[in-house]
């Protein structure tokens, strides 16, 4: 048990990201399937509408959980939190565009199964979201950057 705890402690960020990412993916997929079951995605482009709505729900969930549980962001203050949130949403918009292109290619051009296409696109998005969050959104700043020497 001690080795498991040490392994977790050593890889806490990645393990927490995978857990939160799994939950975020679940929010995205479940909401996508609920929405796509309501609209007719077989004969039109409603799958894009369903995908965007599922994205909105999952990105809100992702911001809160990544900020608190994964990257343990210490950013405070309205201006700083707004800036961090803006970076988060900007990076998620980039991966949304990538996901929409993937879904269009897979569902409409290659005519793969809608569900399998969504799952594949989500795997790509999970990886890209971690990279963007790590290097762009929640990057750790040194205390010298927080309080520069004047």
Helix axes 12-38, 2-10, angle to 10 degrees: 80
pLDDT tens-digit readout, 14-72 = 999 999 988 988 999 999 999 888 887 676 778 888 888 998 999 889 999 999 999 99
| Distances from the Cα of 52 to the Cα of 30, 47, 68, angstroms | 13, 9, 24
- What pLDDT does 41 receive? 67
- What pLDDT does 109 receive? 93
Nearest to 103 by CA among 113, 93, 94: 113
pLDDT at 86 over 50: yes
Domain residue extents for the chain: 2-139
Average pLDDT over residues 102-128: 91
- What pLDDT does 150 receive? 45
Average pLDDT over residues 74-97: 91
pLDDT at 96 over 70: yes
pTM (2 decimals)? Answer: 0.70
Beta strands in the chain (DSSP E): none
Beta strands in 36-113 (DSSP E): none
């Amino acid at each position: 048990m001690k080795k498991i705890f040490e392994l977790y402690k050593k890889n806490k960020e990645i393990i927490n990201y995978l857990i939160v990412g799994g939950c975020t993916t679940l929010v995205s997929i479940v909401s996508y399937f609920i929405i796509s079951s309501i609209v007719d995605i077989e004969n039109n482009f409603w799958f894009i509408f369903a995908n965007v709505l599922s994205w909105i729900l999952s990105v809100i969930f992702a911001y809160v959980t990544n900020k608190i549980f994964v990257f343990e962001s210490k950013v405070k203050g309205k201006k700083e939190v707004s800036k961090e949130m803006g970076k988060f949403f900007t990076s998620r918009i980039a991966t949304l565009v990538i996901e929409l292109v993937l879904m269009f290619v897979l569902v409409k051009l290659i005519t793969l199964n809608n569900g399998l296409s969504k799952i594949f696109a989500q795997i790509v998005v999970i990886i890209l979201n971690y990279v963007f969050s790590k290097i762009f959104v929640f990057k750790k700043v040194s205390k010298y950057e927080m309080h520069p020497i004047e």
